[in-house]
Amino acid sequence: MLQARDVMTESLINCSPEMTVAKAAKLMRDRKTGDVLVIDEGKLVGILTDRDIAVRVTAKSLDSNQVLVREAMSTRVLTGEPDWDLDKIAKEMGKHQIRRLPIAENGVPIGMVSLSDIALHNDHKSHVAESLREISESHGTHRLHTAQRGLLFTVLGVGLITGAVVALNLFRSGGNLKEQLRDSRIGDRLHCWVLFKPDAKESRRLEDNESQP
């Protein structure tokens, strides 16, 4: 399977944390990209995206010629490794809701993989589609769906364990399987996740809270 090193773009677009946001924005415009890596003494210290500029500069009516990149950049940057396969990268993009993943080696960025790179080279189109769906969700909806999946897997796991215990006891005691299954209330455990599943109104409330400043 292809790895990050096989498809990544090696000509990175980067800037200094001391550059003004206005200059960084012009760099993004000229290079037709939505983000630039922020490099300080050869190390990746952050990333500046068009959303960072919109939320942390424009929305606050700040002068982009006076604001430095280090004041507006995101400092928590997810990076991948050169030997990651494309399926792993796609899943990480979906999990963290990003469209581009810097590839670093020993803390030094050496390339960039985008979702379009994966779509062009990966035969598993379903992984790309799933990542794109997760990326497109609001943060609130994404967290809600993740929590629901986690709860479902937990409940199913409890049900399977309970079923195994019941079966073991049945073989040991020679009892009636139908009666033991009924008494164990396995069905109730397997379906109890429905009781915790937020309805559409609750989902919209979480999304509305997420969108508020």
Cβ atoms of residues 113 and 14 within 8 Å: no
In whole angstroms, what separates CA 22 from the centre of its chain? 29
Each residue's pLDDT tens digit, 110-125: 999 988 888 887 665 5
Each residue's pLDDT tens digit, 131-173: 556 555 555 544 544 445 455 445 455 555 655 555 556 555 5
Look at residue 19 and tell me whether its pLDDT is greater than 60: yes
Predicted TM-score (pTM) of the model is 0.56
- Per-residue buried b or exposed e for 76-93, using 16+ beta carbons within 10 Å of the residue's own CB: ebebbeeebebbbbbebb
Each residue's pLDDT tens digit, 51-92: 999 999 999 999 999 999 999 999 989 999 999 999 899 889
Beta bridge partners of 14: 37
- In whole numbers, what is the pLDDT of the chain averaged over residues? 75
The Cα–Cα gap between 102 and 154 comes to: 33
The Cα–Cα gap between 144 and 205 comes to: 11
**212-to-40, 202, 206 alpha-carbon distances in Å:** 33, 16, 10
